[in-house]
Amino acid sequence: MPLTPWACSNCGHWQRHFAPQGCPVCEDTRNDLPADGWDFWPEEKVAAHVAGSWRRLDRELVAFSTSPPFGLNGTGWLLLHPDGNTAFEAAPYYTPPMIEEIRRLGGIRFLAASHCHGYGALWQLQDVFEPEVLAIQKDDLRMTKAMRVTHPYDDALELRPGQTLIHVGGHYEGQAVLHDARRRVLFCGDAFKVDQDESGSPVALSTHKAFHKSIPLTPGEARRYLEAIAPLDFDTICTPFEHAPGVDREIALALLDDQIAGPPGVRHIPLDQLRGRRIAAE
Ligand SMILES: [Zn+2]
Ligand SMILES: [Zn+2]
């Protein structure tokens, strides 16, 4: 039987399969199972369901997304570079105009994602653009049924000078962040969650093992985030779902300080309460 890509209609996770019997993302404790049972969509059905769009942000960064929402409905980030672009995380699906735009912008040389909630249609970007590298941290390889990981890694992988993947674990076993030193951006996966106001401006920050179920990190997991992130310089974070300019290293470290000090819990702390706290501590 031919193996084709199927998307879980509950979370959007793709698998190459003859007939999926379950979805590893929904079966995981961080997510809920679909109340009405499994429903897997072939590529044609997803393609007919979504329209694509993109917006150019500052620092040569392009955000690709689709509507109406499908699955976890993440954003695909494209980091433009004259020697080949880097794509991090992916949109739920890439329509022909989205593919055409990426081609016009120079294609993809390096492809990676933080963890399975950010995968979207990574498989499609690999099939179309044949990047040199598809990098996923080794502890999450079991989630990559739709693509072929060319560069599994342990603690860190430097894609190019100034663009480094760093394994942080915590929220997901194999979760990694991508630090772009030149842009001063930390693509942090779900290591942080940003609350935004109606205009999309970041107002509060939290960290968690499972967002919807409000399961907190352990103190040790928060400490590991802190150790990984403290050496990095950034003034903006991008999750698979939010672009948060102004959420910088000091704010991120102050949130982790609070988490480590305890008690365990998911606390959405307003940014103005986090600002300045770390400097006082240092
Ligand atoms: Zn699912
Ligand atoms: Zn996640």
Confidence of residue 2 (pLDDT cuts 50, 70, 90): confident
Confidence of residue 281 (pLDDT cuts 50, 70, 90): low
CA of 23 to the centre of ligand 1 (A): 5
The ligand that comes nearest to the alpha carbon of residue 74 is: 2
DSSP 3: -
Please write the tens of the pLDDT for every residue from 39-66.
999 999 999 999 999 999 999 999 999 9
Beta strands 76-79 and 61-67, pairing class: antiparallel
Beta strands 133-137 and 151-153, pairing class: parallel
Name residue 165's beta-bridge partners. 157, 178
Please write the tens of the pLDDT for every residue from 8-36.
999 999 999 999 999 999 999 999 999 99
- pTM check: above 0.85: yes
CA of 22 to the centre of ligand 2 (A): 19
CA of 104 to the centre of ligand 2 (A): 30
CA of 171 to the centre of ligand 2 (A): 7
CA of 75 to the centre of ligand 2 (A): 13
Whether 132 shows a pLDDT value over 80: the answer reads yes
% of residues, the chain, pLDDT over 90? 95
The ligand that comes nearest to the alpha carbon of residue 173 is: 2
CA of 140 to the centre of ligand 2 (A): 12
Q: How far is CA 225 from CA 103, 176, 232, in A?
A: 35, 10, 11
The angle, 0 to 180 degrees and rounded to 10, between the axes of the packed helices 122-129 and 96-104 is 50
Q: How far is CA 262 from CA 6, 181, 215, 267, in A?
A: 42, 31, 14, 10
CA of 38 to the centre of ligand 1 (A): 8
CA of 115 to the centre of ligand 2 (A): 7
Q: How far is CA 218 from CA 70, 191, 207, 230, 265, in A?
A: 31, 13, 11, 18, 9
CA of 274 to the centre of ligand 1 (A): 35
Cβ–Cβ < 8 Å for 46, 92: yes
Whether 197 shows a pLDDT value over 80: the answer reads yes
